[in-house]
């Protein structure tokens, strides 16, 4: 931010365990994570506004925030909810010079995704077939997009969930390949 304000990237990943049981009641872990994220960012945004210097926040979402067909219904709802949170926070904070955006990665090759790649060639082939760029993202590529959103070079970008997905959102489906057929 060049000393002008504050910048904060959200390192939290929304994980889905399919829900959990507590006192015999199924509860959606991903919904709890989304509410937790809002409860954490609300005081952060208030503090940034009180500081009077503006700033930028980037939340980590996923390609499921922009198109259907990624993960289960709970995960899909959480990702779409996060897009709504970005828009609501922008409406609330932009006049104080605070920009709120999100990155929406597709498949990223990380230690967390490595078991899918190690299970056999099928997953890597699916990613290559489904992603117009033909490969998964590297974590550094997602970080570069977030860094840009946090920088002054993106000073007029607010309320955006930016796909960092190798073109998956352009073809709209993960399981049909880059041609969409």
- Stated pTM of the model: 0.79
Domains of the chain: 6-171 (3.40.50.720)
Tokens of 128: 């290559």
Mean of the per-residue pLDDT values of the chain: 80
CA–CA distance, 167 with 107 (Å, rounded to integer) = 11
When pLDDT is averaged across residues 66-73 and rounded to a whole number, the result is 74
Q: Which residue has the tokens 């498949």?
A: 107
Q: Is the pLDDT of residue 162 over 60?
A: yes
When pLDDT is averaged across residues 69-75 and rounded to a whole number, the result is 70
pLDDT, tens digit (0-9, with 9 covering 90-100), for 120-146: 999 999 999 989 999 999 999 999 999
**How far, in Å, are 31, 73, 90, 101, 158 from residue 2 at the CA level?**
35, 40, 21, 18, 18
Question: Terminal CA-to-CA distance of the chain, rounded, Å?
Answer: 43
Tokens of 146: 């977030």
* Minimum mean pLDDT range among 22-26, 88-92, 176-180: 22-26
Higher pLDDT: 83 or 24? It is 83
Tokens of 14: 């929304």
When pLDDT is averaged across residues 71-94 and rounded to a whole number, the result is 86
Higher pLDDT: 174 or 97? It is 97
Query: What count of Cα atoms within 13 Å lies in the side-chain half-sphere of residue 57?
Result: 29
CA–CA distance, 8 with 127 (Å, rounded to integer) = 30
Query: Are 89 and 40 a contacting pair, CB within 8 Å?
Result: no
Q: Is the pLDDT of residue 43 over 60?
A: yes
């Amino acid at each position: 931010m060049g000393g002008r304000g504050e910048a904060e990237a959200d390192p939290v990943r929304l994980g889905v365990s399919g829900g959990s049981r507590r006192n015999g009641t199924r509860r959606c872990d991903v919904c709890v994570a989304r509410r937790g994220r809002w409860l954490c960012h609300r005081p952060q945004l208030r503090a940034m506004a009180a500081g009077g210097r503006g700033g930028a926040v980037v939340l980590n979402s996923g390609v499921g925030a922009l198109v259907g067909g990624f993960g289960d219904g709970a995960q899909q709802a959480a990702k779409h909810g996060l897009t709504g949170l970005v828009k609501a926070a922008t409406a609330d904070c932009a006049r104080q010079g605070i920009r709120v955006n999100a990155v929406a990665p597709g498949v990223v090759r990380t230690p967390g995704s490595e078991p899918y790649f190690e299970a056999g060639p099928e997953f890597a082939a699916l990613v290559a077939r489904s992603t117009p760029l033909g490969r998964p993202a590297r974590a550094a590529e997602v970080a570069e997009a977030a860094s840009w959103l946090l920088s002054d070079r993106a000073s007029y970008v607010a309320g955006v969930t930016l796909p960092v997905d190798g073109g998956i959102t352009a073809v709209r489906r993960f399981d049909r390949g880059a041609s969409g057929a």
